[in-house]
Amino acid sequence: MKKVFERPEALHHAPFHYCPGCGHSIIHRLIAQVIDEKKLRDKTICSLGVGCAVVAYNYFDVDLIEAPHGRAAAVATGVKRARPKHIVFSYQGDGDLAAIGTAETFHAANRGEHFTAFFVNNAVYGMTGGQMAPTTLIGQKTTTSPFGRQHEIAGYPLKFSEVLAQLEGTSYIERVAVNSPAQVRKAKKAIEKAFKHQQKKTGFSMVEFLSPCPTNWRMGTIDSCKWIDDVMQKEYPLGVIKEKKC
Amino acid sequence: MDKQLLSGTTAIGEAAIQAGCKFYFGYPITPQNALPEYMSGRLVEIPGGVFLQAESEVGAINMVMGASAVGERVMTSSSSPGISLKQEGISYMAGQELPAVIVNVSRGGPGLGSIYPAQSDYFQSTRGGGHGDYRTIVLAPASVQELADMTAAAFDLAEHYRTPVLVLADGVLAQMMEPVKISSRKRKKAASKEYELTGAKGRPSKAIHSFRMDPKDQEDHNWKLMRKYKRIEQREVSCETFLMDDAEMAVVAYGTAARIAKGALKRLRKEKLKVGLIRPKTLWPFPTELIKEISKRVNDFLVFEMSAGQMIEDVKLALEGKGTIHFYGRPGGVIPAPIELYRIISRHYYQAKRKQKK
Amino acid sequence: MKGSIKIKKELCKGCTFCMTFCPKQCIVLSEKLNKKGYLVAEFDGDKGCTGCATCGLMCPEIAIEVYRG
C-alpha cells in the first residue's frame, strides 16, 4: 500500500495548541497543502493577525511577520508593494479582520491590493475567552453578551465579505466552511483559486472560513459542526460572493 | 548636488531618496502635507519607488512595518496627533527590531491642538510614547540642512541598530526655505539583514514577531534591547555648544527654540552677558554627560522650550540636583521672538548674579 | 481498494471528527487516555477501510496517515 495522505511539508512539526475540533488546525493544513502542491513556499510571505493563531509562526513554514492586532492587511500591503512577485497572504480571525482591522482591510480591498486575505470566522473572540465579535449572531450568548446579542445594543452580525464584494478593487471572495468533508474539499479549492487570482493580479482576494469553536460556543465538537450547518450558514451563506474573470 | 533653496519638507523627502529610501507611506496632516505631496511625485521617478497614501496614520505605520520586514528603506511622516496613532506600530517595530524612519513635524497639543509649531512631543518621542520597555533614537534638527542630514543619517542609524528612529522637526523647520546641499550617499553596508523576509528558499523559514509566550523569553529579549540602547547611548550622543567657553549661564534648547536662543544670545553678548547655548542634536540619547561636565563650571541653566516644559526634566536628571535651573516656555504653537527671550534670559542672568554676590 | 490508517495517538485530541465522518465506521474512540488525557481515536482494521482519506481530511491534528493499495 502506498501513503496517500500525510502531513504537508509547509507546516512545522509542532503539534497544534488549538482546542479539539478547532477549525484553525484544518485551515492551516489546507493552506499548507496548497503551498506544497503549487510549490509556493520559497516565495510566500505571511502577514499574521492576533488571536488563537497568534503563534501560527510555530506552524506555517514560510517567512512570516506578526502584525499588530487588526493591522495585518496594512502590513501585507507594505510587504506586497515591496515584493510584488511574492505570494502574500494575511491570516486573521473575525475580530482582527472585521472589528479593529476594519479600516485596514476595507482600504486594502478598495485599493485592490494583490494579496490574499484568509478570514477565519467563528462568530466569537476565541483567544481572549469568548467575547462577542462583530460576526456574533443575534441571540448568541458570549461572555460580553451574556443574555444573547441584541441588535438594539450591539447592532447586527457583520457580513464583511458581502461588504467588500461591493468594492471595485476586490476580485475574488468566497465563503466556505470546514465542518464536513465536502466543505473542507471546497475550502481547499477556494484557497487555490485565491492564490491564482493573486498570481494573475486581478485584485484583492479573500476566503472567509466558517470555523467551529467548540470551546467558546460551549458545544461538543460534532455539535459545533452541526451548528455551522443549521444556524451559522443561514446568516453567512456559503459560496462564491464575487469573482472577476481570471 | 549643488546648493539649492529648498523648503524643509522637500529637503527631508529628497534626502531620504538620496539615502536609498524607495518607500513612503503617509497621510495628510498639517503642517507636513508638502512632504507626502513631494514624495508622491518624486518616487515615480525612482525605479521600484512606491508612494502610497494610506487610509490613516495607523495604516501607514503598518505598511512601513511590512516594507521594512522585507529589508527596504522606508519612511513615514506625520504631525503630533498622527504620531500618537503610530505609537502602537513604533512599539511593535522596536520589539521586532525593525528599522524605520518616522518624521514628526510637531504642532501644538494635546488633542487636535493647533497647527502651529510646538515642541510638546518631547515626552512622546523620548519616553515611549508607545508601550513597553523600549527607546527610539530621536534626532532634533535646527535647520533645513540638518533636516536633510539627519533624515539621511536616520536611515543608517535605523538599519545599523535595527530600531525605529524619530526625526523630531516642527512646523517652522518644515515650512522654511534655506540653502541646502543634499548629496547622494553611498548606502552604508547594513549591519545584518538576517531578519529580512525573502521567501524561505533553501533555508528554514523566518518569523518576525514581538510576541513571546514565555515571560522568561520576553525578559531575555527586553535585556537584549536594553544592551542595544546602552550601546546607542555610548556612541550616538550629539550636541552643539555655542559660546560656552566663558559662559556663566547656559541656555538649553533644541530645534527652532535653539535658533531663537541664538538670536537672543546675539543681543546678550552685545551687552557683555556671558551666556552660551547647549543644543542637543540627539534628544535620545540625551547629552547627559556633557551637561554634567558643564555643570562643574556653570551654575545656571535656563531651559527654553516651545512647550510647557518637557526637556527640562532630562536637564534636571543630568544635573542631579546641582546648579540652578530656570525655565521659559511658550506652548501651544506660539513662537516667541528672540527679543522676548533675550529679556527673559537677561532678567534671570542678573538675578543669578545678585544671588551669587550675597 | 483496500486501505489502512495509522493514528498518532499522542497528537489526537479525541474530537471524533474522523469517526463521525468515516463512511465505513472504521474508527472508534478508545477507552485509554493518551499522555495529554484525551480519549483517542483507534483504527478498527476489519471494517473494510478503502483508504478514502476522509479521516485524514477532517483530522485537525494531522494525526492520521492514510495508506491505499
Q: Which domains does chain C have, with CATH numbers?
A: 3-68 (3.30.70.20)
Interface mutation target, options B85, B209, B217, chain A, most CBs of A under 10 Å = B209
pLDDT at A228 over 70: yes
- Indicate the residue of C51, C61, C66 with minimum beta-carbon distance to A15: C61
Can you tell me the mean pLDDT for A66-77? 98
Question: What integer pLDDT is reported at residue B186 of this predicted model?
Answer: 66
**CA–CA dist B150, B141 (Å, integer):** 7
pLDDT tens digits along B83-96 = 999 999 999 999 99
Tell me if B163 sits within 8 A of B233, measured CB to CB. no
pLDDT tens digits along B59-92 = 999 999 999 999 999 999 999 999 999 999 999 9
Report which residue type is found at B36.
P
- Residue C15 is placed in which grid cell? 474530537
**Contact residues, chain C to chain A, C-beta under 8 Å:** 2-4, 10-11, 13-17, 20-21, 38, 51, 53-54, 56-58, 60-62, 64-69
Question: What integer pLDDT is reported at residue C1 of this predicted model?
Answer: 80
Question: What integer pLDDT is reported at residue B340 of this predicted model?
Answer: 97
CA B349 to chain centroid, in Å, comes to 30
- Residue B330 is placed in which grid cell? 511658550
Three-state secondary structure string covering B211-236: CCCCHHHHHHHHHHHHHHHHHHHHHC
Q: How confident is the model at residue B358 (pLDDT cuts 50, 70, 90)?
A: confident
Which of the 8 DSSP states describes residue A228?
Answer: I
Are A21 and C60 a contacting pair at CB < 8 A? yes
Report which residue type is found at B53.
Q
- List Cα–Cα distances, B327 to A47, A65, B142, B303, C1, in angstroms: 48, 46, 20, 5, 89
Question: What integer pLDDT is reported at residue B45 of this predicted model?
Answer: 96
Percent of chain B at pLDDT above 90? 94
Cα torsion through B95, B98, B100, B106, rounded to 10 = 0
- Indicate the residue of A42, A74, A83 with minimum beta-carbon distance to B70: A83
Question: What integer pLDDT is reported at residue A132 of this predicted model?
Answer: 96
- Name all chains with 3 or more CB-CB pairs below 8 Å to chain C: A
pLDDT at B191 over 60: no
Can you tell me the mean pLDDT for A87-110? 97
The DSSP-derived string for B115-176 is SSB--TTHHHHHS-SSSSS---EEE---SHHHHHHHHHHHHHHHHHHTSEEEEEEEHHHHH-
| Nearest residue of C to residue A23, measured between CA atoms | C60
**CA–CA dist B67, A79 (Å, integer):** 5
**Secondary structure E strands in B246-323:** 249-252, 275-280, 282-284, 300-305
Q: How far is C9 from chain A (nearest CA, A)?
A: 12
Which of the 8 DSSP states describes residue B107?
Answer: B
Tell me if B349 sits within 8 A of B250, measured CB to CB. no
Give contacts of B89 with chain A, Cβ < 8 Å. 68, 71
Q: How confident is the model at residue B193 (pLDDT cuts 50, 70, 90)?
A: confident
Question: What integer pLDDT is reported at residue B217 of this predicted model?
Answer: 97
For the structural domain made of B4-235, what CATH number should be given? 3.40.50.970
| 3-class secondary structure, C42 | strand
Question: What integer pLDDT is reported at residue B2 of this predicted model?
Answer: 86
Residue from A168, A52, A84 nearest B70 by CA: A84
Question: What integer pLDDT is reported at residue B346 of this predicted model?
Answer: 97
- Indicate the residue of A41, A43, A54 with minimum beta-carbon distance to B211: A54
Question: What integer pLDDT is reported at residue B192 of this predicted model?
Answer: 56
Give contacts of A18 with chain C, Cβ < 8 Å. 60
Q: How confident is the model at residue A187 (pLDDT cuts 50, 70, 90)?
A: very high
Whole-number mean pLDDT of chain A?
Answer: 97
For the structural domain made of B240-357, what CATH number should be given? 3.40.50.920
Helix residue ranges, H only, A16-156: 23-37, 72-82, 94-98, 102-110, 151-154
The answer as to CATH 3.30.420.40 being correct for domain A23-243 is no
Domain spans in chain A, listed from the N-terminal domain onward? 23-243
Q: How confident is the model at residue B188 (pLDDT cuts 50, 70, 90)?
A: low
Domain spans in chain B, listed from the N-terminal domain onward? 4-235, 240-357
**Is some CB atom of chain A closer than 8 A to the CB atom of B215?**
no
Q: Please state the φ and ψ torsions of residue A63, each to the nearest 5 degrees.
A: -60, 140
Are C15 and A20 a contacting pair at CB < 8 A? yes
Tell me if B62 sits within 8 A of A75, measured CB to CB. yes
Can you tell me the mean pLDDT for B231-256? 98
Give contacts of A19 with chain C, Cβ < 8 Å. 13
Question: What integer pLDDT is reported at residue B356 of this predicted model?
Answer: 85
**CA–CA dist A21, A223 (Å, integer):** 10
Question: What integer pLDDT is reported at residue B72 of this predicted model?
Answer: 95
Tell me if A92 sits within 8 A of A180, measured CB to CB. no
pLDDT at A93 over 80: yes
Question: What integer pLDDT is reported at residue B248 of this predicted model?
Answer: 97
Whole-number mean pLDDT of chain C?
Answer: 95
Are B201 and A42 a contacting pair at CB < 8 A? yes
Whole-number mean pLDDT of chain B?
Answer: 96
Question: Does this model's pTM top 0.90?
Answer: yes
Cell numbers 516656555 correspond to what residue?
Answer: B329
Are A5 and C57 a contacting pair at CB < 8 A? yes
Question: What integer pLDDT is reported at residue B352 of this predicted model?
Answer: 94
**Is some CB atom of chain A closer than 8 A to the CB atom of B211?**
yes
| Nearest residue of B to residue A87, measured between CA atoms | B199
pLDDT tens digits along B281-333 = 999 999 999 999 999 999 999 999 999 999 999 999 999 999 999 999 999 99
Task: Give me the interface pTM, i.e. the ipTM.
Answer: 0.96
Can you tell me the mean pLDDT for A76-93? 98
Report which residue type is found at A132.
M
Give contacts of A5 with chain C, Cβ < 8 Å. 53, 56-57, 64-66
**CA–CA dist B247, B352 (Å, integer):** 13
The C-alpha R_g of chain B, in whole angstroms, comes to 21
Give contacts of C52 with chain A, Cβ < 8 Å. none
pLDDT tens digits along B131-147 = 999 999 999 999 999 99
- List Cα–Cα distances, B84 to B104, B118, B262, C38, in angstroms: 10, 15, 31, 48
Are B66 and A107 a contacting pair at CB < 8 A? no
Are A23 and C4 a contacting pair at CB < 8 A? no
B 126-185 residues inside an 8 A Cβ radius of A: none
Q: How far is A225 from chain B (nearest CA, A)?
A: 30
Can you tell me the mean pLDDT for A225-230? 98
pLDDT at B185 over 90: no
pLDDT at B258 over 70: yes
Question: What integer pLDDT is reported at residue B187 of this predicted model?
Answer: 66
Q: How confident is the model at residue A50 (pLDDT cuts 50, 70, 90)?
A: very high
Question: What integer pLDDT is reported at residue A222 of this predicted model?
Answer: 98
- Residue B320 is placed in which grid cell? 542631579
Are A222 and C20 a contacting pair at CB < 8 A? yes
Query: Would B4-235 and B240-357 be classified into the same CATH topology?
Result: yes
Helices (H) and strands (E) in chain A, counts: 10, 8
A 71-110 residues inside an 8 A Cβ radius of B: 71, 74-83, 86, 103-104, 106-107
- Residue A84 is placed in which grid cell? 510584488
Residue from A25, A32, A5, A1 nearest C7 by CA: A5
